Chain A
Amino acid sequence: MFDVASLTVGHELEPFSRLTDLAVWNRYAAVNDEYVPIHMDDEAGRAAGLPGAIGMGNLQWAYLHNLVRQWIGEQGRVVKMACQFRNLNLRGQTVTARGRVTGVDRGPDGTDVDLEVWTEDQDGNKLAPGTCTVRLDG
């Protein structure tokens, strides 16, 4: 729980982090039907001009939602989200989703909060930068 009334631009969300190994990728491929060769097989990745097998963009997308849901809890809902897949998620990277508040708009139906969100690797290189708007109660 956090105090919506005291929320200001610059507030940083508690990060959401996962080691992206084959076990993680496999679980996601299993529910999203993403057994695509470049996501499973280093040879297929190299044949496509990539360093090896790469993680699914949709899983980065899911981590960004996990980050925001973890922050808002029961205090609001996700209105919109966008991201670009700028850099590759390689096997064995620790991916961390982060976010910070860029705008706060208090209205009669709640408080709309704009966020800068992104995933990054263990060296701080951004993988999937994006934006999000949530509507909070109060």
Chain B
Amino acid sequence: MADTAEGQTRTAISAAMQQSVGSELSRMVSYPVSESDIRKWALAVYYPEEPPARFWDEEAAASSRQGGIVAPEDFNPFAWLRAHPKGVSRSSAATDADSTERSLGIDGPHLVNQLNGGVSVEYGEPIRPGDVITSVTRLGQYREREGSLGLMLLTPMETTWTNQRDEMVKRSTLVLIRY
């Protein structure tokens, strides 16, 4: 609940939404990460300058502390296509502000827009070519506040990535802002 400037209290959090806190929102498995995936990612995040050689040159990477090519920490192995669930991702999820709750089979908050409010990550094992990453995301505790754009609903999404050896790759929390 959030208090308005007029002293009123309003909320976009329904009972069904509150009861869904802790639920699994998604489970994804990547295709095996390729050296080409890592090279393209590095080119994009350092564009227009050349990325460090350890991200694209096997010889340079072999003499690095990792002993071979590894992905930048911010690499995403789930973009465009996943091994599970199969098929091209639906881009509408990025613009549908109710998609989080809809994926749980409940009504959303019926807010219009959504933005990425912030992220925190703890890193474990680096991602190497050939790795298959599993991502599990759970719904965190909703919060609300009044902002410049009106009632703002803050939704934490808590995600853990593991590799095929069940080693932790990263634990992250992304806060979705809806208004």
- Residues of A in contact with B (beta carbons under 8 Å apart): 18, 23-24, 27-28, 30-38, 48-49, 57-59, 61-63, 65-66, 69, 74, 77-85, 130
Chain A residue with the shortest CB-CB distance to B120: A82
**Neighbouring A residues of B95 by C-beta, 8 Å:** 36-38
Whether A78 contacts B91 by the Cβ 8 Å rule is no
Partner of A28 from the list B45, B65, B73 (CB cut-off 8 Å) is: B45
CB-contacts of B116-139 with A (<8 A): 116-123
Cβ distance A61 to chain B, nearest Cβ, rounded Å:
6
What are some 14 contacts across the A-B interface (CB < 8 A)?
A: A27-B47, A33-B80, A38-B95, A57-B119, A58-B76, A58-B116, A62-B72, A65-B74, A66-B45, A66-B46, A74-B65, A79-B123, A80-B121, A82-B120
A24 touches B72 (CB 8 A): no
- Asked if B43 lies at the interface with its beta carbon under 8 angstroms from chain A, I say yes
Contact yes or no, B44 A33, CB < 8 A: no
Closest to A62 in B: B45
Residue contact A49 to B113, C-beta cutoff 8 Å: yes
Task: Find out whether the CB atom of A36 lies under 8 angstroms from the CB atom of B91.
Answer: yes
Given the interface contacts A36-B94, A61-B74, does A81 sit within 8 Å of B120 by beta carbon?
yes
A78 touches which of B46, B112, B123 (Cβ 8 Å): B123
Question: How many positions in chain B have a CB within 8 Å of any CB in the partner chain?
Answer: 33
Residues of A within 8 A of B73 (CB): 65, 69, 78, 81
Most B-side CB within 10 Å, residue of A31, A35, A74: A31
- CB 8 Å contact bits of B97-117 with A (1 = contact, 0 = none): 000000000000000110111
Chain B contacts with A in 141-179, Cβ cutoff 8 A: 149
Residues from chain A with a CB closer than 8 A to the CB of B112 are 48
Is A84 within 8 A of B122, CB to CB? no
A10 to B40, CA, bound (A): 35
Shortest CB-to-CB span from A90 to chain B, Å, is 14
Residues of A within 8 A of B118 (CB): 82-85, 130
Interface membership of B85, Cβ < 8 A: no
